[in-house]
Structure 1
Amino acid sequence: MGQKKSLKASLTRISRSKIKTDKPVYQMLRGIESKIEYHPFLEDWGNSYQSILRAALNDRQKGLSETEIEKSYQKKYNIQWAWADSLATNATAVFDQLTTAKINQIEQIETELKTGLIKSQEQIEKLEISLSNPNRKNTRNLTKKLLGLKSKLQRLQRKKQQLEQLKQSKRLHICWGSKKLFNAQYHLEENGYSSHDEWFYDWRKKRGGNFYSVGKGSVDGNNPVTKIHHSSEDIFTVTITVPRCYQDTYGQNLTLKFEVTQARKHDLLYALEANKPVTVQIFRREHKDDQWYIHLSTYIQAVPYISSLKNGCLGIDLNANSIDLVYIKRDGNLHQIQGQKTVFSWEIPTGTTGQVEAALRDIVAEIVRIAESFQCPVACEDLDFSKKKASLRHQSKKYSRMLSGFVYDKFRSFLVARAEKYGIEVIFKNPFATSVIGLIKYMPKYGLNSASAAAMVIARRALGYSERIPSSYLSLICPELPEDGSGHSWSQWGKICKLLNLQKIPRHSLFEPAKVLEVLQIAVSRTKEAQYKPEYGEESQIYFFISSSLKQ
């Protein structure tokens, strides 16, 4: 596996054109979709294509390269080179996705095991403290707590076995047609089937009805086997080169019409005239009365950025309750003009998946509109939620719902897509200690709430400003540093975050600088006086009691 892409690289649709010019030319990936008229060939080739694709994936897992599949499949399945090339490319893409998914699943289980063991150890220590002072309050629901801890350790043991099996397994598994439908064959009546043949018909239909061809800009129609041409007004045609195995039935070529209107029409015309490759996917949508659609992927000219850090920056903070936005001037201060709003907030949308996505798109559209008015970039936190999602079981319900509700991932992808369309740059910055810095430095100064204060820190970080700790904390946190406060501010903020976490101070208390200083003084003194505590692996009566129960 190569080096992992940055968050922006994984979200952006802009890339540098491979065409050599005096100045670099940037292009944007564009997707265009439309209904296409039906023809029996689509059904037959869609089913055959998917069957060959499954065979190609099996061959990739056996060690055959993309080139070997491309060469051997032309004769084996009696198809042209371009179709074999598309199949090999498609199979390799699926193979790479499955490989990445396996790596991510291993990392997720390892993170969940680590988090689960930490939480279990914390529970064990609390129970030991309770048993050391066995009064009525401490022994309340003790049996229930022990059983809960035992259940958690049993689950972690099952996860460990799953991890070992996953690491030992060499084959990558995928269910073509969905697991839900596959399992329906064992419960026919419960799933509305009167016979196995009825289920098998749906199973074959689910696994077919889809084919794909890779575009090429240097050929007529911008694709070797599914050529795209403009017919008249909003009407375009796709001329499909029929695979040799079907030419006796359908002839050598087949032309079908589809309609593209408004902005997408101009994008497609530009791609055709500029000789941009047009990758084509034709597929059936079961939830839309089995109608057939064509999806075109091509490139258009990227919109140049109209935003500049010289005009300041918008900072965004996403949390469990809201999406908060703050505009910061170039000098790093909050923009405060009478009658002009510079602090914004939206509630995290709830509802069905479609409702949440629609609401997020509306919020993103408003954020981009605000960025256009200030002609400034938008700064976001560069957070990897894959590891956090692995520890959902051990987080609060609100935080778990926030992460599992895919709000973060969808919001960022919608934001980047919308911003690039209107020439607004999105900057992702390290989120380290943004909440604590905002609470301590900017919440009392500007009268902001905690989320808006964190958004201000993110915007300042994008503008290139660093955050020094207040001078009143310096001698307490870093007594070895000179009085001017020189030194690495991040390490100093890291110490403050650690001390505040140990004291479990409420967030609203951080509004008062004197209260923060008092808590830090207590935390520092307690740290110095702290006695040695047993680490992981050391003897614990409760731990061994539960461990022995698990072995039985």
Structure 2
Amino acid sequence: MITLESLLEFQNEEDRQKVLDLMRRFSSAERYGYQRLLEGWPREELKKHLARVFQINTRYADDAILKASSVLKSCRERGQSPSKVVFGGRNLFEKLKKKHLNGSRREELKREWRERRQGNLYSRGDRSKQGNLNLRFVWLEGELYLRICVGERRWVWAKVVRPVKREKDKWIGFIWSLYQAEKTGEWFPYDVELKLRDGEIYALVSVREKFPPATITLESGVLGIDVNAYPFHLALAEVSPDGNLLGYERISLHELLSASHDRREYLCWQVAYRVVNLALEKGRAIAVEDLEKLPKGRRGDGLPKLRKKLQRWIYKSLLEKIEVLAKRHGVEVAKKDPAYTSVIGKLKYAPQYLVDKDVAGALVVGRRALGFEEKLPESYELLLQDEEYLLYALAQLEEKIKELKRELKGEENEWRKRAIKKRLSVTRSELKTLQRHLRMLQSGESEPVSRDPADQRKEPVRGYLLRWRKSWRVLSAALTVPLLEKFPQSSKGTLRDFSPLKTVLVAGDWKRAVRRLVPVPGAGAAVQECG
């Protein structure tokens, strides 16, 4: 979507006051609707209720619910409590709470607070309603006006003021599209939002952007992208059309965490340009994870400052900027399911290419976009059948649990206790996964293809995915604590070096990796003996 801003000039003060009153009622309806959504009100019932209470038409009421829903969704994506949302801005609210503020400075903040809370009006676009029903752009005597519905068949017309200062200004394209739509009758939808700022009313119009056909497609290979929170960065992997890793790069995002909102937006665009320029330079399409939620940490993880900053950042904003820029330059963008990309990357490709798990995860994203299926390597399949090694791994996990329990008992700091409890919970889950697999192996049983007789046609697919995912989970449980945690890592509590798995992956010799030194060419110093 492209968003363009213009200033509105009213014919008289009476019209301006009518619009301000409508904006106040709409803003109140949005805040009230937000609270009702938290209570679980159905949308249709709430729409009628808002229209009646705040004296706005049902379309405005529905748009108020839409805006409230977007705030609620954004809040949940950030990992924040929806009940603690402050309309008008929490930072401004906290400033007004300070008692030492007075005089002109306090009055200025109060004015800004009122404008943010009461100066909003939104109407979504509709092709069948000449682009927009409530807030519609119209031509009057050769000049552009915004027709604002302020009641039942009552409108206010405001002149649109928007100077064009550069040749490639997207406002020119929007005006041309409006002119063509009125001439041909082929309308297009556009969203309009009114904002009160510094005493002036501005109109922000959002239209769907038309992209040129993609000239760089998946057939040319891809640039796989993996978003990571610890450390906070993008991992990029250049993947050839045949699925091999050609190169990789990392882009740090830590500067975004301490930046203001406007500065953060600028930096996100800079990162997006860097990614797209790299894709153009390499002649590769772009593959990203279709993420719903990026882990931003929990209390007791030992990283309170980083966690607090991550909570304020929406990763989707960066991925959306990359997608928009790529499409503008004719670069195809593929979004893929992120399931098990990190696990497959660290166990299969990190030791194979001697790269870290983030780059390996980006490689899996790229391969998935190219249509490659990630099968278990033969050595890993054999490992899953080795009862002797699995019993050894089981004993190591049990010993790890005892160690964590001793550590928990001796720890007095409440926050560190929570971090230990989290590790203990994960280790117990891995233990159960391994025990279940070992019981099935010893009994000679196999996983049922499907437990739901009603979906028999889906059984082959569901059964394959179930076995595939369980195999990777069992592998992770059998290798992480028993083998990888026995070797020194670059960061305490974080596995970054997966080179010890190369002997297991290439030679299938997991017993040798457990018993003595495993020098890995190109991986730096030899890892220490374990066992």
TM-based fold match above 0.5: yes
The reply to whether residue 511 of structure 1 matches residue 499 of structure 2 is yes
Looking at structure 2, the residues matched to 214 and 317 of structure 1 have their Cα atoms a distance apart, in angstroms, of 33
Aligned residues: 407
Residue of structure 2 aligned with 1:364, choices 248, 267, 272: 272
Q: TM-score, normalised by structure 2?
A: 0.61
Go from structure 1 to structure 2 and tell me whether the alpha carbon gap of 1:373 and 1:348 turns closer, same or farther (over 3 Å shift): same
The reply to whether residue 265 of structure 1 matches residue 139 of structure 2 is no
The reply to whether residue 389 of structure 1 matches residue 296 of structure 2 is yes
Displacement, 1:315?
0.9
Displacement, 1:97?
4.3
Equivalent residues in 2 for 1:105-184, closer than 5 Å:
175-178=86-89
Deviations 1:92-127 (A, max 9, x none): 22453466579879x978xxxxxxxxxxxxxxxxxx
Looking at structure 2, the residues matched to 473 and 218 of structure 1 have their Cα atoms a distance apart, in angstroms, of 58
The reply to whether residue 348 of structure 1 matches residue 253 of structure 2 is yes
**Contact kept in structure 2, 1:440 and 1:511, CA below 8 Å:** no
Looking at structure 1, the residues matched to 109 and 80 of structure 2 have their Cα atoms a distance apart, in angstroms, of 35
Equivalent in the alignment of 1:147: none
The reply to whether residue 240 of structure 1 matches residue 147 of structure 2 is yes
Displacement, 1:418?
1.9
- SS of the residue 1:423 aligns to: coil
Deviations 1:428-463 (A, max 9, x none): 334444445444544454454443333222211222
The reply to whether residue 280 of structure 1 matches residue 192 of structure 2 is yes
Equivalent in the alignment of 2:361: 454
Displacement, 1:364?
1.5
Q: What RMSD in Å do the two structures reach over aligned CA positions?
A: 4.6
Residue of structure 1 aligned with 2:4, choices 32, 39, 44: 32
**Contact kept in structure 2, 1:312 and 1:329, CA below 8 Å:** yes
Deviations 1:325-346 (A, max 9, x none): 22212211234xxxxxx43332
One-letter identity of the residue aligned with 1:348: L
Deviations 1:292-334 (A, max 9, x none): 4221123353433334322222111233153222221221123
Go from structure 1 to structure 2 and tell me whether the alpha carbon gap of 1:434 and 1:208 turns closer, same or farther (over 3 Å shift): closer
- SS of the residue 2:276 aligns to: helix
Go from structure 1 to structure 2 and tell me whether the alpha carbon gap of 1:445 and 1:237 turns closer, same or farther (over 3 Å shift): same
- Percent of residue pairs bearing the same amino acid type: 21
Residue of structure 2 aligned with 1:92, choices 31, 41, 65: 65
Equivalent residues in 2 for 1:514-525, closer than 5 Å:
521=511
Looking at structure 1, the residues matched to 244 and 217 of structure 2 have their Cα atoms a distance apart, in angstroms, of 17
Q: TM-score, normalised by structure 1?
A: 0.59
Looking at structure 2, the residues matched to 514 and 279 of structure 1 have their Cα atoms a distance apart, in angstroms, of 54
The reply to whether residue 322 of structure 1 matches residue 322 of structure 2 is no
Go from structure 1 to structure 2 and tell me whether the alpha carbon gap of 1:194 and 1:318 turns closer, same or farther (over 3 Å shift): closer
**Contact kept in structure 2, 1:50 and 1:207, CA below 8 Å:** no
Go from structure 1 to structure 2 and tell me whether the alpha carbon gap of 1:197 and 1:228 turns closer, same or farther (over 3 Å shift): closer
The reply to whether residue 51 of structure 1 matches residue 38 of structure 2 is no
- SS of the residue 1:281 aligns to: strand
**Contact kept in structure 1, 2:221 and 2:241, CA below 8 Å:** yes
In the alignment, structure 2 segments of 5+ residues that lack a partner are 182-186, 387-440, 445-463, 490-494, 516-531
Residue of structure 2 aligned with 1:334, choices 245, 249, 265: 245
- SS of the residue 1:366 aligns to: helix
- SS of the residue 1:385 aligns to: coil
- SS of the residue 1:330 aligns to: coil
Instruction: Select the structure with the greater relative contact order (CA < 8 A; seq sep ≥ 6).
Output: 1
Go from structure 1 to structure 2 and tell me whether the alpha carbon gap of 1:93 and 1:432 turns closer, same or farther (over 3 Å shift): closer
**Contact kept in structure 1, 2:220 and 2:240, CA below 8 Å:** yes
Deviations 1:112-152 (A, max 9, x none): xxxxxxxxxxxxxxxxxxxxxxxxxxxxxxxxxxxxxxxxx
Equivalent residues in 2 for 1:389-428, closer than 5 Å:
389=296, 391-396=298-303, 400=307, 403-404=310-311, 406=313, 408-428=315-335
Looking at structure 2, the residues matched to 308 and 502 of structure 1 have their Cα atoms a distance apart, in angstroms, of 41
Deviations 1:354-398 (A, max 9, x none): 444323322212322333455543122344436x33625425458
- SS of the residue 1:499 aligns to: helix
In the alignment, structure 1 segments of 5+ residues that lack a partner are 1-28, 78-82, 110-165, 167-171, 336-341, 526-552
Looking at structure 1, the residues matched to 97 and 347 of structure 2 have their Cα atoms a distance apart, in angstroms, of 60
One-letter identity of the residue aligned with 1:493: W
Displacement, 1:516?
5.4
Looking at structure 1, the residues matched to 191 and 5 of structure 2 have their Cα atoms a distance apart, in angstroms, of 12
Go from structure 1 to structure 2 and tell me whether the alpha carbon gap of 1:259 and 1:404 turns closer, same or farther (over 3 Å shift): same
